A and B are shown apart, each in its own frame.
Chain A
Amino acid sequence: MTGRTAPDAAPGARSGWVDEALREHEEHTRAAMSRPATAAPEREQQVLDRIDRARRRRPKVREERITMSHGAGGKATRTLVEAVFLDAFRNPLLEPLEDSAQLHLNGSRVALTTDSYVVSPLFFPGGDIGDLAVNGTVNDLAVSGATPLYLSAGFILEEGFPVADLNRIVASMKAAAAVAGVQVVTGDTKVVQKGKADGCYINTTGLGVMEHDVSLGVATAQPGDAVIVSGTIGDHGVTIMLARGELDIEADIVSDTAAMNGMIADLLGATTGVRALRDATRGGVATILNEVATAANVSVVVTEDAIPVRTEVRGASELLGIDPMYVACEGRLVAVVDGAEADQALAALRAHPLGEQAAIIGHIAEEPPGIVLLKTAFGGTRIVDLLVGDPLPRIC
């Protein structure tokens, strides 16, 4: 039935990166290709090793322009941050790429972080851009082990934006700051022409002090450690997706946006076994686990059945063809804790209202390094990798 009747292909001009990638690839594989042929399992392992080496190469931004993937929190974001920002600003404080930088000022340790908020819609079930802008930055400080104290707030407003909406946003910022025990002490306002922004963007910078004598970091994870999440995952992301109203799906869920500094203080007070804390925002829990695996060169083994996911979130994710593991949370903690202290840590989290549904979802193992493994509910095993860009829905 197949007939190759059509004319031969025109030599298509191709964008440069394909040729470049192929050239690069040839250099890397020339040595490997010259080796004698081996049996299939060994050959597969050789390919896996080759990929591992390729993944450790210096990241390079190949696109000519910024695409939405660069902001999605996955591989493209990481490449952009490492190849552009880290490359230019490189210094020992920035290099760990943790949620906040830890500085020594006149003998005291302080933590500094910044975050911009561009959520759409601005108002959604369970919160709005205002409390998000406070909670997100407070959480970035808290997961570093710092006590959040002061925030700055920068507003970029679009011409024509209703003042009533701005008042509503500021009121919820005020309320969120009161709950978190922080003050907004400086700020900035810019207005841009209609169409140059989407209503209201907010940037907040946070300053906190390191009161606990802890040095947290994902690179310190060790085989035998437990991996804990503080509650159901994916609530925020799915709420936002449904709130956009494009999907004609309704579900009774609200964003999990919350300041976690109180819960984290309780956790750090209850055990000295905490090695790393992260808030699972863009890219979700899966992205955090990959950061742990890469930074500590260990394997993270998680059990699908143990991960708390609301039925509504699971249902919506199934329909949309996305995985809750990659969906953003705004008030959920991922903790890596010494295995011997795991039960204590879990109890401390569960004693706090935000952590009632905390669960141990897995552990750290030695092999295979740099990889997150999921034991599926079905009883199989698979990898949980970083996403490239936005979770794309499947079409059939």
Chain B
Amino acid sequence: MRFVDEFRDADKAHALAAKIAGLCEPGRRYKLMEVCGGHTHTIYKHGLEDYLPESVTLVHGPGCPVCVIPMGRVDDAIHLAAQPDVIMTSFGDMMRVPGSHGSFFDAKAEGADIRMVYSPLDSLKIARQNPDKRVVFMAIGFETTTPSTAMTVLRAAAEGLANFSIFCNHVTIIPAIKAILDSPDLRLDGFIGPGHVSTVIGCRPYEFIAREHGKPVVVAGFEPLDILQSIYMLMLQLSEGRSEVENQYTRVVPWDGNLAALKAINEVMELRPYFEWRGLGFISHSAMRMRPAYSAFDAELLFHVPGVRVADPKACQCGEVLKGVLKPWECKVFGTACTPETPIGTCMVSPEGACAAYYNFGRMNRRRVVEVSIS
């Protein structure tokens, strides 16, 4: 298949792997963080770690949209969905995320009208078709999905649609990366930058990582060769003692981002003073809310939202996993009490969550398995 197979070529991967191995200094260990959950998914889905020398470890970062949603927000959303005249709409990833009394799936089974959509524009369609209902879109995601929510609100405003609103949970990536860089228990050598987020925000916002923290950043695409090449680019910077922001994903990411998308976000939304992240706690200016001019579309103002903060189960170590301090299997409840069937933590829910990716794709002794599959 064109535009896909070219980026999964095993021969090219072998060549890159050899170059990466050649850049490893004997005795030195390298810890690289892929910030984005989409990268985590690709890495596990294609078995990319098989190509890396033992001294290079990938640390899975916080960029998984549903993984960072705290339990209290899920409870709030379910409370909205349970109103008799409400149709709640959301992306499929959200359906299994556990609140303190179950997930969207459970609420749906109890009678709430919750529908899965592929785009917020689909929610708008549902609102048009159901004028006697109030349609709420559970908006989640980083800067990748924020523009589409903003565009949907602009469209709804232009149409004068009165029965549509947004429950806004959009978060921003830079404060999360800052939180990780400030975290004392983690030593990283470099970052694989989030490709899709960067199509919107561009590469400039990462410059502080290179300048102030001395860590190289390579913005990467989502095919396995993209990631392998970005690892090579990071290793090359490290071996040459450079720390710069580089763009591997030039076919999609413009250096300055997408100005039209940023304008749309800025028109409709503003930064919240603070927002709770699952496992990371409260982070200042790390999420978006609707601007007063668009309050007619803000579910948090239109409805009574309980807003109760719910503590994570004590044994859940999602925060440590999101920060990359723990590998998924190092969490106390991984795979026993917390599984994809009965997730306790959000990292076990989304296919982009580090725990789910490891459980579903990587739950094996890599050394033993490589021997088997070669035979």
Which residues of A are in contact with B by a Cβ distance under 8 Å? 1-15, 17-18, 21-22, 24-25, 28-29, 41, 43-45, 47-48, 50-51, 54, 62-69, 75-76, 79, 246-247, 299, 301, 311, 314-315, 318, 321, 365, 367-368, 371, 373-383, 385, 388-390, 392-396
Contact = CB atoms under 8 A, between A and B. Distances in A.
12 contacts: A2-B178, A3-B283, A5-B274, A10-B311, A21-B342, A22-B313, A47-B329, A62-B342, A315-B1, A379-B47, A381-B364, A385-B361
A385 B50 contact: no
Given A2-B182, A12-B311, A395-B141, 10 more contacts: A1-B182, A12-B309, A21-B344, A51-B335, A54-B336, A368-B364, A379-B13, A380-B50, A381-B50, A396-B145
A379 B374 CA distance: 11
A390 B92 CA distance: 10
B142 interface: yes
Contacts of A2: 175, 178-179, 182, 280-284
Contacts of B100: 12-15
Interface of B: 1, 4-5, 8-10, 13-14, 38, 41, 44-51, 65, 71-72, 75, 91-93, 95-96, 98, 100-102, 105-106, 108-110, 118, 122, 140-142, 144-145, 175, 178-179, 182, 196, 224-225, 274, 276, 280-285, 308-311, 313, 315, 329-330, 332-342, 344, 350-352, 359-370, 372-373, 375
A27 to B, nearest CB: 10
Nearest to B310: A12
A382 B144 contact: no
Highest count of chain B CB atoms <10 Å: which of A41, A382, A390: A382
B361 A382 contact: yes
Contact of B95 (A79, A378, A383, A392): A392
A65 B109 contact: yes
B375 A393 contact: no
A388 B4 contact: no
A50 to B, nearest CB: 6
A21 B336 CA distance: 8
A57 B334 CA distance: 16
B4 A318 contact: yes
A379 B10 contact: yes
B309 A5 contact: no
A1 B38 CA distance: 26
Given A9-B309, A44-B329, A311-B1, A381 B109 contact: no
B296 to A, nearest CB: 26
B341 A76 contact: yes
Given A5-B274, A75-B340, A380-B51, A395 B310 contact: no
A29 B332 contact: yes
B96 A392 contact: yes
A151 B82 CA distance: 44
B91 A393 contact: yes
Given A2-B179, A6-B276, A371-B364, A379 B50 contact: yes
Contacts of A371: 363-364
B290 to A, nearest CB: 20
A68 B107 CA distance: 12
Contacts of A375: 47, 373
A61 B313 CA distance: 21
B198 to A, nearest CB: 12
Contacts of B45: 376, 382
A377 B336 contact: no
Given A380-B48, A381-B373, A383-B362, A22 B106 contact: no
Contacts of A14: 100-101, 313
A249 B100 CA distance: 37
B274 A6 contact: yes
Contacts of B310: 9-10, 12
A54 B309 contact: no
B282 A382 contact: no
B109 to A, nearest CB: 4
A378 B46 contact: yes
Listed from nearest, the 4 A-B pairs whose CB atoms lie closest are A380-B47, A12-B310, A25-B337, A51-B335
B220 to A, nearest CB: 14
Highest count of chain B CB atoms <10 Å: which of A9, A10, A379: A379
Given A3-B284, A6-B282, A13-B101, A392 B365 contact: no
Contacts of B93: 392-395
Contacts of A246: 118, 122
B168 to A, nearest CB: 15
Highest count of chain B CB atoms <10 Å: which of A2, A22, A62, A318: A2
B342 A365 contact: no
A380 B363 contact: no
A15 B102 contact: yes
Contact of A321 (B47, B276, B351): B351
Contacts of B276: 6
Contact of A45 (B95, B315, B365): B365
A368 B98 CA distance: 32
Given A2-B280, A2-B282, A395-B141, A385 B360 contact: yes
A392 B343 CA distance: 15
A274 B128 CA distance: 56
Highest count of chain B CB atoms <10 Å: which of A18, A321, A393: A18
Nearest to A374: B47
Contacts of A17: 342
A65 B102 CA distance: 11
Nearest to A65: B109
B105 A11 contact: no
A380 B333 contact: no
A234 to B, nearest CB: 14
A30 to B, nearest CB: 12
